[in-house]
Amino acid sequence: MHKTDIVVIGAGAVGCAVARELSKFNLKVMVVDKRADVGGDASKSNSSIICTGFDCPPGSLESQLCLSQRSMVEQVVRNLDIPFSMCGAVMPAITEEQFALLPKIHNEAFENHVYDTELLCPGEILEIEPEINPELLGGLYIPRESVVDPFLFVVAMAENAAENGVEFLLNNEVTGIHCSGGEVKEIETTGCSITTRYVINAAGLFCDKIAAMIGECDFSVKPRKGQFFILDKNTPCKISHIVYPIPTPETRGKLLLPTIHGNILLGPTAEDLEDKEDYSTTSDQLAAVEMECRRLVPNIRVSDTITQYCGLRPNRIPAGFNIGLSKKTKGYLGISGVRSTGMSTCLAIAKHVSKMIEESGFLVSRKQGYVRTRCGIVRFRDTAPEQREELIRHNADYGKIICRCETVTEAEITLAICSQIGAQSIDAIKRRLRAGMGRCQGGFCGPQIIEILARELKVPVEQINKDLSGSFMAYSQLRPD
């Protein structure tokens, strides 16, 4: 039996941001998640954009939160040592119909208080981004659209929260919430029971399931699949900005963007599903991604793909951000409807949630000695030659290259395993260090990473997972040591 003040259900971007914000107060906070690592479902498979909110529904809570976060995110990524690039975005209009929509999109940006967008002529767009389709008629420039490392964004917030006293209970699926006298009293998980005064439902795709446990579910969540291509860093067609399509009433469309680490990302699709565990990619949907991206950037080479993947966005029905305290059950706060802009709003959502709890009379005094900064693992590939020599002098394992594609050393892998929220699987290492994200997709480094994980976790190699519990990478030893 555990006892705490607040339980946050869900360790995605929103849940970790909320936990980090609450760690500033003299409270005991726990984060519970059914998965074996932080990152949630949507947060670890999104497009990595931190948007200004220029294209949000004007006047909506989503718009307010995007605008609010954009003013604070640059300080947070500096404090938490998170890779971030304000690369900007262009939205080219290729057809007359698209061109006619540009003034409306520009006006909506102003309604959303994003005043630095500009309508540009074809020559100006091509000067900014020469690979754009030369048949364009004009376009919109959004200079503060940005990209981030989405994996490290969540990991860094979780590590900072843990540094400030938040406890993470991973591999614990919530199975029930018990109330008494109209108040939250206890949470049941597959691994333990937790008495608590507050529950914050940040479960994303499964927030409807959690809400139903206390009879607070007047909505449903359907997964909306988005499939992506990732192109090799050496692909000859380079873009330096996010390239947005003109949106339709159904979807924001398929975009192209330069990732924070130099790859090119194409996608996503928008496929409404029933199955919340369907992470398959399909040739027909990926062909549609290629076709639509070629309309924007004709020279893009999908033959340079190193992998495809998909993410599931939590599509709320009815749609819209919903964040609020229950009027029926004291101590329950629900967060739903955070679909495509979770990374772009999570910090602001955390502030919003904190204020709501404070106004309910619950929050106590602020913590003295709150740690605002977090130092990430020193990346060997990003250091100068003299720094590399110094790293190897202090730790010889910095001289052992495990992942050749991304130049990841054994020292970095060991530090990731032993960190505040330690990596326990192949994919957890990949998300923190990019080992296995290069051209060979782990073909060379995978077996070595399994051995390092087994050594550091002191378990047999047969117990090392790819990602989820039970996704074993090895089943038996074929030859003796």
pLDDT tens for 310-367 read: 999 999 999 999 999 999 999 999 999 999 899 999 999 999 999 999 999 887 789 9
Cβ neighbourhood burial of 457 (10 Å; 0-12, 13-18, 19+): middle
At a CB cut-off of 8 Å and minimum separation 6, what does 164 contact?
A: 20, 23, 24, 367, 370, 371
Residue 208, pLDDT > 80, answer yes
Cα–Cα distances in Å, from 423 out to 36, 38, 79, 159, 415? Answer: 9, 9, 22, 12, 9
- Provide the whole-model pTM: 0.96
Listed residue (45, 342, 15) closest to 203, CA to CA: 15
pLDDT for res 133: 98
Q: Which two tokens stand for residue 170?
A: 């991973």
pLDDT band at 45 (very low <50, low <70, confident <90, very high): confident
Residue 372 neighbours by CB distance under 10 Å: 12
pLDDT band at 481 (very low <50, low <70, confident <90, very high): low
Q: How big is the CA angle at 328 (ends 324 and 334), to the nearest 5 degrees?
A: 25
pLDDT for res 161: 98
Helix H or strand E segment including 212:
helix 207-212
pLDDT for res 271: 95
**Are the CB atoms for 43 and 343 separated by under 8 Å?**
yes
Return the bridge partners of 223, or none.
314
Residue 107 neighbours by CB distance under 10 Å: 12
pLDDT for res 477: 62
Listed residue (382, 85, 407, 73) closest to 260, CA to CA: 85
- Mean predicted confidence (pLDDT) in 441-464: 95
Percent of the chain's residues with pLDDT above 90: 93
Cα–Cα distances in Å, from 456 out to 112, 152, 464, 465, 476? Answer: 50, 22, 11, 14, 19
CA–CA dist 151, 153 (Å, integer): 5
Cα–Cα distances in Å, from 45 out to 22, 191, 229? Answer: 25, 27, 12
- Mean predicted confidence (pLDDT) in 45-65: 95
Cα–Cα distances in Å, from 402 out to 184, 349, 407, 437, 448? Answer: 48, 39, 7, 13, 7
Residue 41, pLDDT > 90, answer no
CA 84 from centroid of its chain's CA atoms: 13
Residue 141, pLDDT > 70, answer yes
Domains of the chain (ranges; CATH) run: 2-44+150-219+318-359 (3.50.50.60), 83-148+224-312 (3.30.9.10), 380-463 (1.10.10)
pLDDT for res 480: 63
Residue 201, pLDDT > 80, answer yes
- Mean predicted confidence (pLDDT) in 212-241: 96
CA–CA dist 364, 278 (Å, integer): 42
pLDDT for res 361: 87
Cβ neighbourhood burial of 426 (10 Å; 0-12, 13-18, 19+): buried
E strands within 2-53? Answer: 2-3, 6-9, 29-32, 49-50
**Are the CB atoms for 449 and 436 separated by under 8 Å?**
yes
Instruction: Specify the 3-state DSSP secondary structure of 221.
Output: strand
CA–CA dist 463, 453 (Å, integer): 10
- Mean predicted confidence (pLDDT) in 181-198: 97
- Mean predicted confidence (pLDDT) in 434-453: 95
Return the bridge partners of 243, or none.
90, 256
